[in-house]
Amino acid sequence: MGNDTAVRVSGLRKRYGQLTAVDGIDLEIRRGEVFALLGPNGAGKTTTVEILEGFRPRDAGAVEVLGEDPGSAGRSWRARIGIVLQLASTGPELTVREMIAHFATFYPRPRDPDELIELVGMTDKAGSRLAALSGGQARRVDVALGIVGRPELLFLDEPTTGFDPQARRQFWDLIRQLAADGVTIVLTTHYLEEAEALAGRLAVLAGGQVVALGKPAEIGGAGRPARVSWDTPDGRRTVQTVTPTQMVADLARQAGGEIPGLTVTRPTLEDAYLELIGDQR
């Protein structure tokens, strides 16, 4: 695997009895990018991520994460990845600083706990017990625990579920800062606006397969017809076209100026996503 590739997956398969959870997935994630996995419940997202993390064996296929097979990699490899779990709720009698300082002892080259507390925006809560934190604050502590070992690759599984809009956007700023520092981030989320805001590329899973792969704008809009609508003497007219700009120019020329009631509606990532996952909704 090249130095610019963090994750490479080829022909990945996993079954649970008669259920095929992952059915021949191929993926390549570059170092330093934020990559999102989208899909409905049961699409294979969690199983795929758990295989990449080394927590679940696969039935078939080749997997390399940071140059090693996660199924057989050792402790030195594990210290290079970060996983954001819901851990803040497991130590309610500890303070934020105590919890992070404790986890720092697990790694050979950890971040300074106070520096990390500042990074996740919890300086004013450093001495607070975990049980007294809000859901969003506890999630920030979970992120701190996931990155205390200076990971090269960070897994975020539904990181902002339950956040209010303000807390979600504050969390996005933190993820952008980590990405700017060169951390590769694999994100699973049900929030399409989150994937659009954070991910450079994404994959849509359905039925255990990758049904779309690319930049959010490519999947959402490029190459998909836009709807151009306008008023005519005979009533409202709507046309779908992949060249809406050219069509509007032609209509303006025919009308000799303004086009009555003109609207141009481009497909969104949500439109494309719902079409891609089909019956799995």
Strand (E) or helix (H) holding 27: strand 19-30
On whether both 124 and 145 belong to a single domain, the answer is: yes
Residues of the chain with pLDDT > 70, as a percent, come to 96
| 221 assigned to some structural domain | no
On whether both 72 and 210 belong to a single domain, the answer is: yes
| 220 assigned to some structural domain | no
Q: Which of the residue ranges 83-87, 113-117, 218-222, 243-247 would you say has the lowest mean pLDDT?
A: 218-222
On whether both 44 and 158 belong to a single domain, the answer is: yes
Tell me the pLDDT of the chain averaged across its residues.
89
On whether both 160 and 144 belong to a single domain, the answer is: no
Could you tell me the CATH number of the domain that includes residue 29?
3.40.50.300
Mean pLDDT of 39-59: 93
Q: Quick check: 279 pLDDT over 60?
A: no
Give phi and psi for 176, each to the nearest 5: -65, -40
pLDDT digits (tens, 9 = 90+) for 14-38: 999 999 999 999 999 999 999 999 9
On whether both 46 and 156 belong to a single domain, the answer is: yes
On whether both 126 and 3 belong to a single domain, the answer is: no
Widest CA span in the chain: 75
On whether both 43 and 156 belong to a single domain, the answer is: yes
On whether both 55 and 157 belong to a single domain, the answer is: yes
On whether both 210 and 234 belong to a single domain, the answer is: no
pTM: 0.80
Mean pLDDT of 82-109: 87
* pLDDT for position 129: 94
As for how many domains the chain has, the answer is 3
- What range does the domain containing 60 cover? 1-80+152-164+179-215
How open is the CA angle 34-40-43, to the nearest 5 degrees? Answer: 85
* pLDDT for position 186: 96
Residues of the chain with pLDDT > 90, as a percent, come to 59
Q: What contacts 223, CB < 8 A, 6 or more positions away?
A: 242
pLDDT digits (tens, 9 = 90+) for 179-230: 999 999 999 988 888 998 999 999 999 989 999 999 988 887 656 788 899 9
